[in-house]
Structure 1
Amino acid sequence: MIVRARPRDAGSVSVMVAVLVPALLLVFALVVDGSARLRAIARADALSAEAARAANTAVDTRSPSVGVDTASAARTAADYLARAGHPGQVTITGPRAVRVTVTVTEPTTIGLLGGSAQATGTALAQLGVGTRDGNLP
């Protein structure tokens, strides 16, 4: 009777699984938490841009010369941020310019990179009145 030896690689798949599964779970957690960071960045940029656009609506048409009311523009942008529910700062940077800075905090799903992801977005509104001719700079 001939007895054949069994191959010695029995269980080698379980070692590979024991090494690869935690690595794959770590990569998955990084992707999920990284997407929360990207969402926070996109939300902060969108909110700051929209608040700056809202500031552009502050045109004074009641006086004989149409002008820009920067104080009203800053209030309009601040009101937009308050309705959106995110803290922000509205700064008048010139006679026709308003800068909006917004901070957004998004919760992370897994929490590997922390419990939340925070991002800041900034937009500048150059307030203008009238039309622009294509030949003007």
Structure 2
Amino acid sequence: MLLIVFFIALLAAAGLVIDGGAKLRAARQASAVAEEAARAGAGEIDRSRAYAHGGQFVIDRQAATNAARSYLAHSGNAGTVSVIGTQTIRVTVTISQPTMLLPAIGIDQIHVTKTATADLIQGVTAPGR
């Protein structure tokens, strides 16, 4: 009986190490995908506003959303995209992966959600300029 309890505890500990590492990798991946998708969207400026009436640089909402969603689709991940104001885009990515050892204690999948924002910045600023 003690051997069975010890085996289950050992299996759970190994599962936490192996599947915990998988969760950390998934978190890194979700973060990287969210950041890159946000950058892709923030690069889409409204050209008509940029070249007219004093050159105001703002995000083209539709193009930015499409660019970020396209990046997500090509990466094989699902997520949400929203444009905040005129110069910020936010992307949230959720990655789900099956576990290897933790199903023995009832944990079949791990889920990781990460959010990133990117801002459209124009010009060069430096201290003293």
Q: What TM-score do you get using the length of structure 2 for normalisation? A: 0.77
What is the percent sequence identity of the aligned residues? 35
1:57 to 27, 36, 43: 43
Which structure 2 segments of 5+ residues have no match? Answer: none
What is the root-mean-square deviation of aligned Cα atoms in Å? 2.5
Which has the larger helix fraction?
Answer: 2
Q: 1:118 aligns with which of 98, 111, 114?
A: 111
1:47 is displaced (CA, Å) by 0.9
* Higher deviation after alignment, 28-37 or 105-114: 105-114
Distance in 1, matches of 2:120 and 2:106, equals 40
| Structure-2 residue corresponding to 1:107 | 98
AA partner of residue 118 (structure 1): H
Query: TM-score scaled to structure 1, two decimals?
Result: 0.73
* Residue number in structure 1 paired with 2:78: 87
Contact 1:39–1:106, Cα closer than 8 Å, also in 2: no
Q: Secondary structure at the match of 1:132?
A: coil
Structure 1: gaps spanning 5 or more residues: 1-14
